Structures are given as structure tokens and as C-alpha cells.
Structure 1
Amino acid sequence: MPLLEFAPLRLPLRRRLQTLAVLQWVFSFLLLGQLCTLLFVLALRGPLWPLALLYALWLLADRDTPRRGGRPCAWVRAWPVWRHFRDYFPISLIRTTPLDPGRNYIFGFHPHGILAAGAFGNFCTEATGFGGLFPGLRPHLLTLPCWFRLPFFREYAMAGGLVSSDPSSLEHLLAQPRGGLVAVIALGGPPEALEAQPGGLRLQLLRRRGFVRIALKHGTPLVPVFSFGENELFRQVPNPPGSRLRRLQLRLQKLLGVALPLFHARGIFQYNFGLLPFRRPIHTVVGAPLELPRLPDPSEAEVELWHRRYRERLRELFEEHKLGYGVPPERRLSFV
């Protein structure tokens, strides 16, 4: 058996374009922010320093935008490259219930996966037809605030609809009286990326209740979203809870604010090792909204009640659709 299984030399152009689209996405996620920061520093030290200084002043003046709805750009979200990105896996978005464009919503996205490919493809681009499935609604994917401290990269991130995951950012979206805004939250956060193994169904949710408290404050419906296939895209170095590697990863996460899963999948020209995800289908199912009362100052008991109802609704969504998307009938979600 060969050590490396190489991709065929003769492949349709569409397959090459799909691989290229995913390659630039992985590069953007892992390295583009650091490269943009380096270019900014070099510009400050070189002949372009006046322009770099003006941009630094702009950063100071614009520092609150990621917490105030961002700056989404319909043109960027509609780039043709995202259709090739979608078709690589492929990714599909499934609506189970129409949603009222006159209201705001919280979409709870599960599972996080390694790089949240389903969340990006469905809610930061129009490749899977979000605008057609949910007319009048505009999605905003919440992500770590640290990404918006990186010069230039922050503008690119906001153009796709990314906003800060600060509580004030979520409050701002839900407080808009005209409605039509969707806050998409990968509720497991960075710790759940450490659980992302093929076949993994362990969700970091039990201690994550802040989204319920804020939803109750505004009377905002909670919409469970399950992305079947999200955990099949990469393999991770074994790191079971309690292992030395997991303890180290958790310490680094607390220190740096981001998870550092040791993952691998396939390469550009071979299928055995690399940082490109495997070609595995992703089916992202958007469930029915869980209606919440408006409680300006909810008690702990009320938060726990609606958190439990949300977990029940998420489990029902998973059970209803799992057989259709390749999950064995005996598999169950677990919450930690």
C-alpha cells in the first residue's frame, strides 16, 4: 500500500477550482490575519507610513463597529468563489420553518467543528441561498473579538457578516426595533473545537447560558441549528478529556483566547495528510424557533428553564433528521 495516495492528474476544472476556493479559505482562517498585521507594521516603517498612520487613526475611530452590527457587504457575500467553496464538500442549507422577517433571532449553531465551515458557508456567503430561504433576514456570525484587532483582516471579516461575540454585540443586534437580524452563534465556542472528531456528538452547552439570558431580556426566539457532517472534515490528534494534551490545550486557550486543536486532513495533491478538509457533505438544518417571553431581569431558575427547553428542542431536531444524513440510529447527542 503506498504511503501517499496522490490525486489524479486529470481532474475536471471545476474540481480544481473547488480545491483552490477551499485552500484560500483555510489560508484566510489560519494565516491571513497575521499576514495583514505584518504588512501593516512594514507599512508603518516604510515610505507608506502616512497612509498606514491614517489607517491607524481610522481603526481607532472605527473600533466599535464590530460590536455594532459590523459592515456586511452583499458584493463580497456573493463572490463566485463561494459557490466553488460550497461545491467542494458540498454544503447545503435546509429550512424546516419559515421565519418572520419583522423579528430578530438567535441561531444556535452546533457543532462548532474545527473551522466552522458550515457556519461560514451558510451564513457568511450567499452560496447556499440564505437570502432566498429566509427573505428579509440578514445573518451575522459572531466570532472571537481578537480577530477584529487585526488591521485590514477585520474589514474582510466584517464584509462577510462577521461581528464580535462580545455580549454587547449580541445585545445591539437584538435591540434593533425593525427586526430582520439573525445572530448566529456557535454556542460550543473554542472548547468545542477540541471535541471535533469524526463521529463526535459531544456538545459544550451545559455551562453556556448567557445567550438564553440575553434572549429572555429581549424576548428573542432561539432557533436550534444542527450541521450534520461538520465534525467529519478533519481528524484530530487524540485528546480525550483529562489527557495531558487536552489539559495543555485548555491552558493555552485560556491564555490566548483561541482553541488550538492539532488537526489534519488532506493535502492539495494527495489525500493522506494536510490542512485541507476532506470532501464530506455538510447538511445544515435550521429548526423551528423556540418562542421566549420577554423578561427584562430573568432569574436563574427562568434561565435554566429555557436553557433546558432549548436543549430539548435541539435534541428533537437532531433525532428527527439524523437518519437522513447518515447518523446511525443508536447515536445520541451528549451535553457537557
Structure 2
Amino acid sequence: MRIADNSTPLTTTALQTKVGSATARPKVGIANVVAVWLWLGWIANYWFSVVLACALAWLRWRTALGCLVGFYALLFALPRDAGVQMFGSTIGRWIVRRAAEYFAMRVLFEDVHAIRDSGSPLIFALEPHDVLPVSMLAFHATLDWIPGHVCAGLMTSAVFRLPGMKSVYSMLSAHSVDRATFSRLLQRGTSVCFCPGGVQEVIHLERENEVVLFLNARLGFAKLALQHRTPAVPAFTFGLAGTYSHRFMRGPIAERIARTIGFLPGVFWGLGAIPFGPPRPRTLTTVIGKPLPLPAGLPADGSPPPEMVREYHGQFVVAMRALFETHKAAMGMSQVCLRII
């Protein structure tokens, strides 16, 4: 699943292509659909369980209800890493490889050598979030698409509280996007990938021909980058639009709920119009920019002053906008505008 390196000089129309899926178009086969379902379709599985229980209830409703409650009680009681303990990372690696084909994922670099030779872990800040940030899978260590780095995906802690889903994400080597985990991974020499805009971006998905990134208030990762002396790297995925259709709640109450539980209340559907099921297959291309140089004069005690954090964060926002504007035409999105809030 590796594409040969093209080390020709970078221009505004040509990128250094490093790695990607061997399929030019999304490959929708039974195995790939099953893999994506295991990865993203767990909420739909809850619905199917209820339907199955209702069907069985016509025969022996007490038995059906008892089995359903017992099954999910067991899933809830299992430790987060139960899947890894039972199956290791075999299932996780299989899901990753199949899902990469399902989306015909590829990764393009503005400067692959700067990534490979960074000399330290990197913070890959990936946008946009869309309904689900499925393109984060391109950074998984199984694919080995990020030269010189082993990456860990960070996501909302909500997925680690849901029965079944928490086991799947543990097999995918995912981690919670809290400050302590962030710091622990960087100190261990592991690069991280996360979506700084998060669920707040889902609120603005209704706008046609516009991508909204919720970045202006996200200074936390910039501070962590300076504290750990690990450069931030802007990355943008083209092609996410249309993976899901959706209807979400709007307004201040919905936003408050989203911040509390990590999800925006609503419904979304993709392949086969299945509520909360797997997404539609789309070709996903992630363009990775250059690492942002760390400023001179970083304090030795790891406590950068607020003005230094704001300046570094501002440089990141400018770099993210430039990344999108430079490559959107080549990705078939010339009519799309970027708005950063």
C-alpha cells in the first residue's frame, strides 16, 4: 500500500507524494465494509440490538430482555483495554488497512524531509472535524505513512465510555485527548494527531461551499507545543464532505451539551442510510504542511508566557489557512471558502 516517493521540488500545483492507499478509488468490498462498521458503526449496533430484542420479545420477552441487558452490562464492565488483552492489536491493524482502502486514503506532504528529519515528536493538528474525523486513521502507525514518526490518535474521552466502542478504539491504539495524555505521549517520544476544532465544528456543517474551523480559542495545543518543544504541524483533509448526511440540534443549549458529553445531539447516516452507521466511501486526501518553527527564547522551565503562546497559535492559524487556499483548487474545492472562528 505504498506509493513511491516523488522528491521533485514543491510548487503550488505539485506536492511531494509519499504514501497512500494502493486503490485510486474507494474500494467497497464486504471485508472493507465490515472493518469500517467495526470501527465506526458501534452506535448503530445498539439500535440493531434493540430491534433484535423486540423481535425476540414476541417469543420470550423476558429472555430477550435479560440477554440484551446482560450483554451490554458485560461490555460496560469490561476494562477499556479488554480488546487488546483478548486479541492483541491484530484486529486493530486489520481494521486500519481495510478502512484505508475503503476511503482510498492518501497523504501528501509539502516537505516530507522536514517531517522525517524533525528530530523530535510532532503535533499534527488535523482539520476539519466534519461529522466524524475519519481521516485521522491516515496517521495510524500500522500504515507507516508518516516517515520518521510513530503517531498516536487523540480523541474525545466520550468514545472510551461507550460499551463496545471503547474496546474497539483501544485496539486501534487511540487515546483520550486530555492534557495529561498529550504530555505523556510527547515525553515518550510519540507524535500525536488530533483535531483541534473538535465537535464545535459540527455545529457549522450546514453551510454549503464553506468549511468552518473552530480554532481561534484553541490555544491549549500551542502551549503544549512550546512546553514540550515539539513543533505543531497543520494538516487538512480534502474530501470529507458527504461522508455523512446529518441533522443536529442548534443553539446555545446544544453547544453546552456538546462540550459536556463530547458529541453534538442529533442524528447522522451514511452507507445504506443506516442511522449512526458507517460513512459513505469517499476519496480522502490529507495534505500535511511544514512543521512550524519554535520561537527563540523558550523558557527553560517549560512555562511559555501567554504572549508567546498567542503568537505561535496565530502562526498556526495563518499556516492552516495557507495550506487550504494553496491546494483547494487541485483537490476540486476551488469554490469552497474557509472561515476560521
TM-score normalised by structure 1 residue count = 0.72
> What is the CA deviation profile of residues 109-145 of structure 1, one whole-angstrom value per residue up to 9, with x for unaligned ones?
10011111111x313463xx3x1x3344111111122
Deviation at 1:30, TM superposition (A): 5.4
Is residue 198 of structure 2 the alignment partner of residue 192 of structure 1?
Answer: no
The amino acid that maps onto 1:267 is G
Q: Cα RMSD (Å) of the superposition?
A: 3.5
Is residue 110 of structure 2 the alignment partner of residue 122 of structure 1?
Answer: no
C-alpha distance 160-305 of structure 1, shift in aligned 2 (>3 A): same
Q: Partner of 1:207 in structure 2?
A: 217
Q: Answer yes or no: is the 8 Å Cα contact 2:96–2:140 preserved in 1.
A: no
> What is the CA deviation profile of residues 155-202 of structure 1, one whole-angstrom value per residue up to 9, with x for unaligned ones?
4312312111111111112223xx3x1111111111112233564411
Residue 319 of structure 2 is aligned with which of 307, 313, 317? 313
Q: Partner of 2:152 in structure 1?
A: 140
> What is the CA deviation profile of residues 60-105 of structure 1, one whole-angstrom value per residue up to 9, with x for unaligned ones?
xx8xxxxxxxxxx6534431x4433223332222233232374111
> What is the CA deviation profile of residues 235-266 of structure 1, one whole-angstrom value per residue up to 9, with x for unaligned ones?
233x6xxxx73334213224433223432334
Structure 2: gaps (5+ residues): 1-26, 50-67, 82-87
Is residue 281 of structure 2 the alignment partner of residue 267 of structure 1?
Answer: no
Comparing 181-190 with 256-265, greater Cα deviation is found at: 256-265
SS of the equivalent of 2:184 reads helix
SS of the equivalent of 1:205 reads coil
4+ long deviations beyond 6 Å: 34-37
Is residue 297 of structure 2 the alignment partner of residue 287 of structure 1?
Answer: no
Residue 106 of structure 1 is aligned with which of 110, 117, 123? 123
Distance across 2 between alignment mates of 1:213 and 1:94: 27
C-alpha distance 219-246 of structure 1, shift in aligned 2 (>3 A): same
Distance across 1 between alignment mates of 2:257 and 2:70: 23
Distance across 1 between alignment mates of 2:163 and 2:266: 25
Between the two proteins, the alignment pairs up a number of residues equal to: 285
C-alpha distance 114-274 of structure 1, shift in aligned 2 (>3 A): closer
Deviation at 1:43, TM superposition (A): 8.3
1:227-242 alignment, distance < 5 Å = 227-237=237-247
1:208-227 alignment, distance < 5 Å = 208-227=218-237
SS of the equivalent of 2:181 reads helix
SS of the equivalent of 1:333 reads strand
The amino acid that maps onto 2:93 is A
Residue 166 of structure 1 is aligned with which of 164, 178, 190? 178
C-alpha distance 40-233 of structure 1, shift in aligned 2 (>3 A): closer
Q: Partner of 1:75 in structure 2?
A: 90
C-alpha distance 31-291 of structure 1, shift in aligned 2 (>3 A): farther
C-alpha distance 274-183 of structure 1, shift in aligned 2 (>3 A): closer
1:82-101 alignment, distance < 5 Å = 82-96=96-110, 97-98=112-113, 99-100=116-117
Distance across 1 between alignment mates of 2:35 and 2:146: 25
Distance across 2 between alignment mates of 1:88 and 1:160: 17
Residue 28 of structure 1 is aligned with which of 28, 33, 42? 42
The amino acid that maps onto 1:170 is F
C-alpha distance 16-151 of structure 1, shift in aligned 2 (>3 A): closer
Q: Percent identity?
A: 26
Q: Answer yes or no: is the 8 Å Cα contact 2:239–2:282 preserved in 1.
A: yes
Distance across 2 between alignment mates of 1:37 and 1:146: 21
C-alpha distance 101-301 of structure 1, shift in aligned 2 (>3 A): closer
